[in-house]
Every structure is written in C-alpha cells, then in structure tokens.
Structure 1
Amino acid sequence: MCLPGDVAGSGSLGWVEVVRLLTRSLAAVAVTAGALGLASAAYQTWGSTRDRRRYPPPGRMIDVGGRRIHLWIEGAGDPAVVVVPALGESCLDFAALLPALAAETRTVVFDRAGLGWSDPVRKPMAQLDAADDLRTALHQAGVEPPYVLVGHSMGGYVLRLFAAAYPGEVAGLVFVDSSHPEQHRIPGYHWKTVRYAAARRARWFGVRRLLVDLGLPSPRSSAVPAEYAAAWTALRLGDRQRRTSWWELALRAQIAAAVGERTGPLGSTPVTVLTCSKNDPYATTRKERALLRQHLQSWYPLQADLAALSTDSKHVVARRAGHYIHHHEPELVVEAILDMVRRVRP
C-alpha cells in the first residue's frame, strides 16, 4: 500500500516530488521572464537614447520655462495654422499635409510634452497643461495670434482648453474627428479604455525594437512621407512617447471630465467639424462594420454637439475615411483648414 508522497512503483513521482518539481519550474520561468524583462527595458532605454541622436527634430526646440517644446514651423502668412495631433501621435502624423498648408500660410505642428521631440511630461495629467505650453511656445517662437487651431482626436481637447483660456487669440477652430468630454456615453467606453491600456502596458517594446533593428518589418504608417518613416517608427518605439501615450490612454476618462469642467460654448468663433465616415476603409469584415455602426450611433451625436458649440459652424462628414481622416482623405482636411483661413483672414 502506497501513501501520498511515497514512490508508487518504478519511475513514478509522489505528490511531494510533483509539487517540488512544479515549484522549481515556475521559479525558473519567473526568473527567466524577469531577466528577459530587464533586458528588454535596458535595450529599450539604450535604443531610445540612440534614436534621439539619430533623428534630430525637423522643427525648433522652444524653451517654455526649463522645459523644451518642439514646434515644426513652415511657410509664411497670417493667420497661422496650429495643428495638435492625437493621443500618442507626434508632429510627423501631419507631415504629409504640411507642404499644402504652408503654401498658403504659416503652419505649425505641435509636439505636446512627452510626444515627438518635446521634453518628457512632468505628471500623468500633463495634457491639461498642453494649451499653456502651446501658447508659451508660440509666443517664444514669434508666431503671433490669432491662430486657426486644428485638433485631431484628443488633440481637440487642447483646442478647447486653449479657446477657454485665451479666446482673444483664436481666429477659428477645426476639429478633425475630435474627442468629446462626454465620450462615456459610448457603450463599453470605460471597459475598452482599461483593456487597451492594459494591452499597451504589457508590450515589451525592447523586444519589438530589437526585432526592428534585426531587419524585421517595422510598424509604420503609410500616410507618413517616406523620408520620415524611420523617425516615425523610432518615436513610436521610444520610451518617452510610449509612456506619455499610455498615460493619455489610461487617464482619458479623467482628462475628458476635466476638459468638460474647464470649457464651454465658443460663441461666434468660427468652427469646422470634420467627422469620420460610416464607410471606414479599415472596417472590412461584417463584424467590424457592425461594430462601427454601433459606435457611430453615439459618435455622430457627439460630433454634432461640437458643431453646436459655435453659432458660426460647419459640420462635414467624410465620404470614405476612418478616425484618421487626414490619412484617408487628406485633401478634405487641407481644404477645410484653408477654408477656415480664408474665412477669418482680414
């Protein structure tokens, strides 16, 4: 008769031996995972530092009080167009539109703190300070108001904060599928935020960077001009931009609430709202199209709310563009911005 923990025949293990073996195996896995994690983090830090030397900023680094903000400035003329990209995006996301806009008037693309070439953020909710950083940087760079402000997605929050704090410096606003402070009305919004934030936090960017350095295909946007593709990839993989993107994503509900508290109607300030289409080219399967239709049932009323902020507004729905309208229909975005410039130009 064999008792638990005894050897039950040749080559068999008792429960005690099995538990010990499992414990040692789990410990080995944990040690290996920890070592790989540390190696990934070390390679990520080294790679980020290397890439900041390898890819200099295309614009100017402006001191805003002991910190530097990057402004990419092209063209000449008034009023100046000032573009604020989306969550986790750098100025390179609008690089393809810059020549057409700069041919008409001075155009500035803004890297808010922690994104692109700007210095790191000082606190998790730093996006709420972006409007002040932007104004200081514009004044320091000699870009005079009033401005035509353009904001994509969460960049639209910066526009509203700027217009609330400095209404006399705003000539007009163009919202490109902009975020809305009441996005919690979208079904499953909070759950999606938590899920996306957790998934992004779990990625080992050092491993992804190593694979890119070894020659594997790198993540890139086809909308970014080829001459900036390598810099775009380096920024996306950089620890500074990754950290800022994660905070903006994880705290977007709190950021939205704060924007709602600090902002209000825009009076007669000219506004153009560009909204994505139900014919999103990225929605290719039946399930994706069904989810898109469900999303737009909440999204379209929020976009109409943005247009209703002003008594002088236009609301344009793209024909075939997803959330990144400036990627799918860049000519529509360029025309909307230049139309605003002509509307407000003396």
Structure 2
Amino acid sequence: MADGRQRDLVIKALSALAPGAGFMFGELPRPGGRHLRWVETTNGGPTILLTAGAGDTVLDWGPVLPALTADFHVVAYDRAGLGASDPAPRTNLASQVEDLVAVLDRHGPALLVGHSWGGLLVQLAAAARPGKVSGLVLVDPTHEEVMAEVPLRLRLGSEVMLTWIVALKAAGMFGKRLTAFGQDTAAKCSTDPAIQALLLDAYRASYARLGQVVAIRTENQLASRVTAARRARAAMTVPDVPMTVLTATRGKLPALQVRAAALADQTAAAFPRGQHVVVDDAGHYVHHDQPAATAAAIKAIAA
C-alpha cells in the first residue's frame, strides 16, 4: 500500500514550489489489486502528461513545474513500484507501456513528455493510442542503439552501483546517499531554503521503502536491455502529431554523444512534424540544467 504520509509530503512540497496549482493525488486500479498514482493540478487548459526517467518519481519534474502549472493541466505519474504507486508482479517494457497507456486513457488527449527511459515509453504509448496524443516532447530520450554501444566496463560499473545502493538500503545505510541525491534535485527546483527542505522531505519519503530502491535498479536494468526495445520500435507506427526531441550537449562519452545526436535526428525524421533541438550547456537531465528551454519546448507544442 502507498504511504499516505509520503503523499502528503509530496503535495506539500509541490504546492510550495508552484503555489496556486492545486496539486492533488489521483489513482487508477490495475490488475492484481495494485494502483498507479499521480499528482495533477486542478486548473484547466490542455493536458500535459509527464513521464520521468528510470528510477525517478514525480518530484523529478520539479524544475519545470512552476513554468507549466499556470496555463496547463499537468499530470505526473509514478511508475509501478516507485513513489506512491504500488509494485507490479512483473516489470518489463510491455508492462510499463501498458500502465502508461492506462494513464493516458484516463487523461488524454494529452501532450506526452518523457525524459530518458520515459522518452522511449511515451513513444510506444503514443503509437498504441494515437488518438489520445496531441504531441510529444522527448527529453534526451533513451535509445536502444545507444545503449547497445555502451562499453562493457561502464555497463558493469552501472550494475555494481545499482546493486550497491540496494544493499545499502537493505542494511539501513542508504540515508546519506539518498539525502545527497535529494538535495541536488531540490537545489535544481528552487533557491528558497524552506522549499528545498520540503522537497527533500518528500524525496526521502518517496524512497523510504526497500522496494522503491529496488525499482531504481530494475528500471535501469530494463533500459540496458535492447532486444525488447528494438522489437517494439520496429513494430511502432508513429502518430502524425508535432514532436520535439531535446538532446544534451554533455554527459556521455564523445562517441556516444555523436551517436545519440544522430539517432535523435532519425527519431525526429520518423515523425511527419518532428524536430530535433540540441540544448546548449545541458547534461542528460536537460530539464534540470535548462528548465526554461525545456518548458519553452513543451509550451510551444502544447499551445
């Protein structure tokens, strides 16, 4: 079951970050008695559905929320096992797309915005429900062909790190590391120490349970498995909607940076109204490093 205190802390933090948005939680029953949960604003306007990267929760969108909540109905959901959402009996690419499609069915038509792993998921959800999608913004999205070219030493290093954080959590020693992550996210959201403290409290609560930390590892492992993504992309028919893919300028090995840019061009070209925008001075978390540019790209399509 989801932790009611955690949900209260998330609502309190986001309400301080974006006053007047009227944040509230919603939920959707899913097979097996579990629930997917999201935060949404109570104002009207076109709907924007935000899908975070692997292991991230609704709080990851904090840096861009203040720029979006005044004019749009914003929905940000937690995938199964993360944040306020219950764990699923199985977690794979298909199950995560099915969950996103279910949220889209509830809230669409919507502009789908996805970061990293979420960027791949929103493309597949849009292909599954073209009539429910008004546009797409992909924020440095995961591409399986980039993942296939990550050197073995980096893949092994990532697996060791993911296993290590789960072990630390199981041993009750993850608090310091979690606080560091949370402080970094809070600092990207606001310069107000009071708001940062609220966001940090919400962040800690969102990873309070072992299963929530295990979900970080599970999703990152999913993102590194290319076969399922290749099959899904090959079967995908893109909808005729406006689409922007934003890519970072740093954070990857030089060869992978070049490859990612080429694949972003390819992704944009697959959409009749697609475009690729390189965001200057931005790492993989483009919406953290350049929130104004990210919000502008979202608004341009949502409008």
In structure 2, the gaps of 5 or more residues are 12-24, 191-195
Please give the per-residue CA displacement for 1:296-315, whole angstroms capped at 9, x wherever unaligned: 12221122122122021121
In structure 1, the gaps of 5 or more residues are 1-48, 281-290
Q: 1:187 to 1:228 in 2, by over 3 A?
A: closer
Larger Rg: 1
Does residue 331 (structure 1) correspond to residue 292 (structure 2)? The answer is: yes
Does residue 259 (structure 1) correspond to residue 229 (structure 2)? The answer is: yes
Does residue 235 (structure 1) correspond to residue 206 (structure 2)? The answer is: yes
Q: What residue identity is the alignment partner of 2:63?
A: A
- Of the three residues 143, 157, 171, the one matched with 1:195 is 157
Aligned structure 1 segments of 4 or more residues deviating by more than 6 angstroms: none
TM-score (norm: length of structure 1): 0.71
Q: What residue identity is the alignment partner of 1:235?
A: S
SS at match of 1:208: coil
The aligned counterpart of 2:245 is 273
The aligned counterpart of 2:99 is 133
Matches within 5 A, 1:1-346: 52=3, 54-57=5-8, 58=11, 59-65=25-31, 66-125=33-92, 127-140=93-106, 143=107, 145-188=108-151, 190-203=152-165, 204-205=168-169, 206-209=171-174, 218-220=180-182, 221=185, 222-225=187-190, 226=196, 227-236=198-207, 238-254=209-225, 256-263=226-233, 264-278=236-250, 292-342=253-303
The aligned counterpart of 2:15 is none
Name the CA distance, whole Å, in 2 between partners of 1:147 and 1:88: 23
Per-residue deviation, 1:217: 5.9
Please give the per-residue CA displacement for 1:261-313, whole angstroms capped at 9, x wherever unaligned: 123342532110100014x6xxxxxxxxxx64233122211221221220211
Name the CA distance, whole Å, in 1 between partners of 2:125 and 2:99: 10
SS at match of 2:38: strand
TM-score (norm: length of structure 2): 0.81
Name the CA distance, whole Å, in 1 between partners of 2:104 and 2:222: 27
Say if 1:72 and 1:91, in contact at 8 Å, map to a contact too: yes
Q: 1:218 to 1:156 in 2, by over 3 A?
A: closer
SS at match of 2:112: strand
Name the CA distance, whole Å, in 1 between partners of 2:110 and 2:54: 22
| Fraction of identical pairs, as percent | 28
Name the CA distance, whole Å, in 2 between partners of 1:277 and 1:168: 33
Q: 1:271 to 1:211 in 2, by over 3 A?
A: closer
Q: 1:268 to 1:135 in 2, by over 3 A?
A: closer
Cα root mean square deviation, aligned: 2.5
Please give the per-residue CA displacement for 1:29-79, whole angstroms capped at 9, x wherever unaligned: xxxxxxxxxxxxxxxxxxxx9x93542253223323421111111143343
SS at match of 1:296: helix
User: How many residue pairs align between the two structures?
Assistant: 273
Say if 1:69 and 1:118, in contact at 8 Å, map to a contact too: yes
SS at match of 1:197: helix
